[in-house]
Amino acid sequence: MRLKRLSEIQSSKDIFGDCSAISCGVFCPTFGVSVCAPLIQDGAVLIVGTPECTWYAKNSSIYHAIDPGWDRFYCCAMEEQDITFGENGAIIKAICDIAAESDIHCIFLASTCVPEIIGDDLEAIAKAGEKLSGIPVLPVRIAHYDHKCNEFGVAVSRTLESLGSLMEAQPKQPKTVNLLGRNFHSAVDGSLRDTELVKLLQTHGIAIQRILPDRCSTSELKKAPSVALNIVTNEVGRELAYYMEKHFGIPYVLFEPSFDLDYIRAGYDKLQKCLGISMEQELCGRKREAKAAIHNGRRLLQGKSFINGGRPPDAFEAAEFLAEMGMKPLLIHAYRLCENSSKRIEKILQRGWNPYVNYVANPEGAAALTEELAPDIYIGHGDAERLIDRGIKQIEMLLPPGKLGYEAIVYAVSALTGVGRREFI
Amino acid sequence: MKLYKNYPVPSDRMGLLWTLSGIKDLVLVEFGPEGTTRYLLESLKYFGEEANAKIFTTMMDEDVVIMGNAERLRKTLVEVDEMYSPEYIFVVESSVGAVIGMDIEGLCREFQQSVKAKLLSVKGGGLSGIWTTGVEEALSMLAEIAEEKISEKENYNILGCCADELNHKAEADAITAMMEKAFALKVNCILSASASIEDCKKMGKSALNVVLRKEALPAAQTLEKKFGTPYVYGRPYGLDGTQSWLEEMEEKLGREGNWKAVNVEMEALRSLILQLKQKIEHGAVRKLVISGHSETVKGLTAFASLELGLPVLYLKSAWSAPKEEAAVTEEEYRHLLEESGTFVLVDGLHSRLADEKRRIQTAHPILEGITVPQPGLMGIKGAAYIVRKLIDL
């Protein structure tokens, strides 16, 4: 077995498949721009790259963007001479042609691997394009071979950060917040607007001004810095939060999806303090529910084994949460280590478990292992029919996008124990 | 560098991968970043397909891009060879590999001694041609695999039925049904929609190769040279088109087809066409707008103009090659849709602008709520489908 055990995972490089060959791979960063940028409804997107990269990016905007904006999504496809001699003003001309469309108020200019390798100066091109076209041009640098941009989430983060340059200082409106960051995994399964966090804030007179990324116009973006506070609801929103703090003095609170009772409590405490509200009564009730769910879950799930399929939140955090309920981790499909992963790994090991770790984008690498390990529950994408044939229960997702706060715990436990579906466990 | 509002023209590499992905037992290793392989698999999903081939990527990071380290490729090839024991491994260069100057041919020569499978390298990285060039290269490579020299010629192959064309499997079904009816011949290998490496090896056993697109001609010529197998190039669109296509088969096979069996369907189509012509005379159907792959456009245009007597306007497909001359602009197309009596046979992106009653989709993309299940457009049944839609306009 080539896979490492959890105890051997020291860095992201230790997470790989059962073979060097990757059978599927993660989504290219262009995917992140394709699903995120078209949400700015008077903005256009211009992707620069090989015909292949630009074709697939355009295709993603058609198939995956919630607000596809097909007709606002352009491609500059490089030919051989562009690679040899450089783009020679073609991108600036393209920017001007796009800007000539009257309803376009900004252009996202995204580069891919090849223009990044040959060193086209995207920032300079964006500046020159902006000057000539008269509308903002937002450079978004994405190259998939780059360790710092190795998946589409990073591209979402960079696209979001680029929005900062469209914003202008505003008089602050007390009791208003922005939510920064959104989970694009199966986004149809829930919205941030339906979360416990939003409902609680609204009950206490806090208005949600903007959710980013989400449908909005450039003029609405301009006013985004009028809020009292930014709440980072997914890690992809962190860079924009830092930018807005630096340029507009807006503080932020990290409140990302988590199964950690202490993290959730600490986040709510900061929110109450920053916004000058008290949600204590509701929070105590919510926390009680979450604790009860964990207690109930522990009773029903004790001794059940699982494979975790790497969906949000952090695979190691999810595994630690399940291990705390007495479940036995056999295999964790993970993408990389996050900032708290080491702590989570330590806790799982302390419980006496040392599961295999597979690279999440290489399911083929551990397909045979799934059958060999024969878990009670498989969490994540998988061959549903094959799992059923082998008597393995499957949950597609432990945490959909519309669950944030204590409700995430209640939801996950109920999904695992099959509340309302007693036959599940 | 060219600006595209619709799809850019897909690259040669994309055509090659879409074509090879249809072959069962074929193992393909890409030396490149992860994203393009994932995108390849996703694009097949949007074509309504799944990869039959086993497709892997090495991943490529800064170690490779800056230092040119090919060790990852060697390891991947060795592991894949051990795991699947394939006869061939197709090693495909990525655009990043091509730009940094990785010598994929040299690397394959170097690594050949470490693996049992025969390594076939594919250069280029998608920087120098359009997708049809890649389709041609893939089909030619597969034709080279054919090796079994059996004198008994008992079936036929369809060459050039690939995932880049909408509904390509339904088109192959139409062809196989006709060949069975007219000549009692079974199909051996549908390249590349329904074939395995083993089928490719046995291609020489066939009495005839049916070539559906010009990209498959070099493959057919290879097979003719190697095994003396004749081929027929063309697509059976419309009544006359299908008839002359079958006549050509007769000539190449050197025997008469079973026209009695075919004529029943042909007669039914003939009376449908008469019915349509009356509608055309009354002005209910006035003109057609056609877009899609060049040979689809050519075949459907001949059917519409020569057999039905309808004026045809050509519209550039959402991702057809740039050299094709567009007779109508996007704006004119929108105006045409407002006129009564206009019917369109167009790609997915243009289909969405026309209501369902006045459209047939000829090319990708498949779009939810727009693309509807439809039979292949080739052959007698395909023609009947088109005529019925026109009658209902």
pLDDT tens profile A148-172? 667 788 899 999 999 999 999 999 9
Q: Which residue of A has its CA nearest to B366?
A: A63
pTM comes to 0.91
User: In angstroms, rounded to a whole number, what is the distance separating the alpha carbons of residues B126 and A326?
Assistant: 51
Interface size A-B, in CB pairs within 8 Å, comes to: 170
For the four alpha carbons of B163, B167, B173 and B174, in that order, the dihedral sign comes to negative
- For A145, the closest of B7, B9, B62 (CB atoms) is B62
A76 vs B126: CB contact, 8 Å cut-off?
no
Flag if A77 and B319 touch (Cβ within 8 Å).
no
User: Residue A27 and residue B33: Cβ atoms within 8 Å?
Assistant: no
Whether A182 contacts A152, CB under 8 Å: no
Query: What pLDDT score does B149 carry?
Result: 66
* A184 has a pLDDT exceeding 90: no
What's the pLDDT at A422? Answer: 47
Cβ-Cβ contacts under 8 Å, B365 against chain A: 59, 62-63
Summary mean pLDDT of chain B: 92
Q: Is residue B151 pLDDT above 70, yes or no?
A: no
Asked if pLDDT for residue A82 goes beyond 90, the answer is no
- Chain B residues whose beta carbon lies within 8 Å of the beta carbon of residue A114: 95-96, 99
Interface test mutation site (partner B, options A15, A48, A50, max chain B beta carbons within 10 A): A50
Out of A28, A82, A90, the one facing B39 most closely (by C-beta) is A28
**Residue B325 burial (C-beta neighbours within 10 Å; 0-12, 13-18, 19+):** exposed
Cβ atoms A244, A167 nearer than 8 A? yes
Distance from CA of B175 to the nearest CA of A (A): 30
**DSSP classification of residue B306:** I
| CB within 8 Å of B64: residues ≥ 6 apart | A145, B70, B72, B100, B102
Residue A81 has pLDDT above 90, yes or no: no
Answer whether the bond into residue A313 is a cis peptide, omega within 30°. Answer: yes
Question: Which of 87-126 (A) contact B at CB < 8 A?
Answer: 87-88, 90-91, 93-94, 97-98, 113-114, 117-118
What average pLDDT score do residues B72-99 get? Answer: 89
Task: Report d(CA B163, CA B21) in Å as an integer.
Answer: 9
State the pLDDT at residue B308: 97
pLDDT tens-digit readout, B265-323: 999 999 999 999 999 999 999 999 999 999 999 999 999 999 999 999 999 888 776 55
Report residue A93 as tokens: 């001309």
> Maximum distance among all alpha carbons in chain A?
67
For residues B202 and B206, give the distance between their C-alpha atoms in angstroms, rounded to a whole number.
8
Mutate to test the interface with B, among A28, A33, A55, A154 (most CBs of B within 10 A): A55
Q: Which residue has the tokens 């941009």?
A: A149
Question: Which residues in chain B touch residue A79, judged by CB atoms under 8 angstroms apart?
Answer: 1-2, 127
B349-371 burial, b at 16+ Cβ within 10 Å, e below that, comes to bbbbebeeebbbbbbbbbbeebb
What is the radius of gyration, based on Cα positions, of chain A? 23
- Checking if the pLDDT of A288 tops 60, the result is yes
Nearest Cβ partner for B79 among A21, A58, A117: A21
The contacts of residue A132 (CB under 8 Å, 6+ apart) are: A92, A95, A96
3 state DSSP class of A392 = coil
- Name the residue of chain B whose CA is nearest to A45's CA: B5
Query: Ramachandran region of residue B254, left (φ > 0), alpha (ψ -120 to 50) or beta?
Result: left
Tell me the pLDDT band of A249, cut-offs 50, 70 and 90: very high
The Cα-based distances of A267 to A34, A197, A258, A312, B225 in angstroms read 31, 10, 11, 18, 74
Tens digit of each residue's pLDDT (9 = 90 or more) over B210-268: 999 999 999 999 999 999 999 999 999 999 999 999 999 999 999 999 999 999 999 99
End-to-end Cα spacing for chain B: 42
**Choice between A101 and B76, residue whose per-residue pLDDT is larger:** B76
Q: CA nearest B135: which of B9, B318, B27, B297?
A: B9
List the single residue in A with minimal CA-CA distance to B35. Answer: A28
Least confident range of A83-92, A229-238, A298-307: A83-92
ipTM attached to this prediction = 0.91
Judged by DSSP in three states, B314 sits in strand
Contact A393, A424 (CB under 8 A): yes
Please give the backbone phi and psi of residue B71, each rounded to the nearest 5 degrees, phi first: -60, -35
A60 to chain B, closest Cα gap in Å: 9
Distance separating alpha carbons of residues B223 and B158, to the nearest angstrom: 12
The nearest CA of chain B is from the CA of A61 a distance in Å of: 11
Give which of A68, A13, A22 is closest to A45, Cα–Cα.
A68
Single-letter amino acid, residue A5: R
